[in-house]
Amino acid sequence: MIPFLDLKAQYAGIKAEVDAAVLNVLASAHYVLGPEVEAFEREFAAYCGVKHAIALNTGTSALHLALLAAGVGPGDEVITVPFTFVATVSAICYTGATPVFVDIEPVTMTMDPAQLEAAITPRTRAIMPVHLYGQMADMDPILEIAARHGIRVIEDACQAHGAEYRGKRAGSMGASGCFSFYPGKNLGACGEGGIAVTNDDRQMEKIRMLRDWGQERRYHHLLKGFNYRMDAIQGAVLRVKLRHLESWTEARREHGGHYTRLLGHSRRVTVPAEVTGRRHVYHVYAVRTPDRDSLQRTLQEGGVQTNLHYPIPVHLQAAHIDLGYKRGDFPVSEAAASEVLSLPIYPEMTPRQVESVAAAVEQKAYA
């Protein structure tokens, strides 16, 4: 069987380092925030090419606090895409603001800048593009439109650690960028984790206060805050894993390239596009086919685990029916939701496994 992802293989490769880091935290008795988390913040900020990073308990918390720090609240609108993980939209709802959707463009399946301007109203307070699957949204036109209207851009970079757009790292282009360290992400904790990054000193200060009960200093609560702090064990584990992230990313890019060479001329599936000037970090390698459900069944029977990211766009989810959207409102997202199929991709995969998956997709006998 070829699994969709293999976190045991990842752990096996770094066990000594991870175990030592965890034991060190246990012995230190410093369990929440503290020196390991602070060191990780400095190292992750440097990795993204930004001034500040604020470590949090989840990626969703990062999105929530980045929005609050940008002044988003009840009565405001935040523009995002419906073809994303639901957390993007939930974080907007947490602030009391209203999510407003624009469709994706069909090649990269990220926010279509050509449709952005029409969605802007006097209430628009922020724009949240999603760097889906590990490829950055088309940031130059998005930032240009946002700047012209005086609106902040907050990047949902939860799937895009190390992705680049014209040499700039994910998270470094907007007012702030938000990452998740959920175990299956390209950089994953041994539990939950997230981080917000920014070059803006004021955004940094606000997010830092909001994650720890709005305290400026102990028991001096300037803001109505949250308990969104990162555990020290996660900080220590993430420091270890960050040292491996570039080689893992290069392995993902190898496998992605290998799939694309093998399946680029397939008549069964369309392969994902890698746009010139953008570094795709292949959090997900999703092919498209009108026969998605039957291909998924065939692969399952052939011992290949796949996933769907995502089968229902957020505007059609029961939880968000109150937004008033209906089927047909975002045709590109709806088509993508019915056609995408995510193939196994993780750094520890072998080229041979990639070839087996590709052969199974082509429904040829295993090589």
Task: Return the amino acid letter for 300.
Answer: Q
Active site residue 185: yes
Among 34, 59, 129, 162, binds ligand PLP (CB under 6 A): 59
| Spatial CB neighbours of 155, under 8 Å, sequence gap ≥ 6 | 128, 129, 131, 137, 139, 170, 171, 173, 174, 176, 177, 178
Q: Which two tokens stand for residue 141?
A: 């036109």
Among 10, 80, 88, 296, binds ligand PLP (CB under 6 A): 88
Query: Among 80-88, 104-112, 114-122, 337-345, which window interacts with ligand PLP (CB under 6 A)?
Result: 80-88
Among 36, 41, 156, 212, binds ligand PLP (CB under 6 A): 156
* Contact set for ligand PLP, span 196-225 (CB under 6 A): none
* Phi, psi for 275 (deg, rounded to 5): -80, 140
Among 80, 84, 176, 342, binds ligand PLP (CB under 6 A): 84
| Spatial CB neighbours of 103, under 8 Å, sequence gap ≥ 6 | 81, 82, 112, 115, 330, 331, 332, 333
Euclidean distance between CA atoms 136 and 159, whole angstroms: 9
Quote the least distance from Cβ 249 to ligand PLP, whole Å: 16
The 104-143 contact track toward ligand PLP, x by CB under 6 A, reads --------------------------x-------------
Residue 180 contacts ligand PLP per CB under 6 A: yes
**∠ CA 92-98-103, rounded to 5°:** 85
Query: Among 52-60, 106-114, 295-303, 342-350, which window interacts with ligand PLP (CB under 6 A)?
Result: 52-60
Which residue of the set 15, 168, 185, 241 is catalytic?
185
DSSP SS3 for 161: coil
Query: Among 155-163, 223-231, 262-270, 310-318, which window interacts with ligand PLP (CB under 6 A)?
Result: 155-163
Euclidean distance between CA atoms 21 and 235, whole angstroms: 9
Q: Does residue 58 come out as left (phi exceeding 0), alpha (psi in the -120 to 50 range) or beta?
A: beta
Q: Which residue is nearest to ligand PLP (CB)?
A: 59
Residues lying near ligand PLP in the complex (CB under 6 A) are found at 58-60, 84-85, 87-88, 130, 156, 158-159, 180, 182, 194
